[in-house]
Structures are given as C-alpha cells and as structure tokens.
C-alpha cells in the first residue's frame, strides 16, 4: 500500500511539473497577449523610474542652491 501511495504522489508531482512547465491552461494567443502586457508594464515602470530620476535630480539641484 505504501508503494501505491508513493507512486500516486510521484505521479501527481510529475503532473504538476509538466502542467506548470507547458502552461497547459493558456492558448498561444493568450500567452502572447499576457507577455505583451507584462512587457508594456515593465516599459512603463522603466519610464516612471527615469522620470523620477530626472525629477529628484532637479529637486536636489534646487536644494543645493538654497544652502
């Protein structure tokens, strides 16, 4: 009985690995759309970081003039 349980657990783990690896619940079109959305979000984050750097650079420049 223990061997049967070990086999069941092993097969379940293998199934989870394969399902996660191949992303079986997602069509190629859905995957492409999701990846484009993730890329766009990363690009927006990069732009926000750049804008913040410029803003804080200008603020620091103003702070140094007043001291």
pLDDT tens for the chain, 67 residues long, are: 678 889 999 999 998 888 777 766 778 888 899 899 999 999 999 999 988 888 888 887 766 555 5
Q: What is the structure's pLDDT at 22?
A: 72
Domains: count for the chain: 1
**Residue-number span of the structural domain to which 42 is assigned:** 2-66
CA separation for the pair 50, 59 (Å, rounded):
14
CA separation for the pair 50, 23 (Å, rounded):
34
Q: What is the structure's pLDDT at 64?
A: 58
């Amino acid at each position: 009985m223990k061997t049967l349980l070990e086999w069941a657990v092993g097969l379940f783990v293998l199934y989870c690995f394969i399902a996660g690896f191949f992303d079986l619940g997602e069509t190629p079109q859905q995957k492409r759309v999701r990846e484009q959305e993730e890329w766009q979000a990363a690009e927006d984050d990069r732009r926000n970081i750049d804008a913040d750097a410029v803003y804080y650079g200008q603020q620091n420049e103003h702070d140094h003039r007043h001291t």
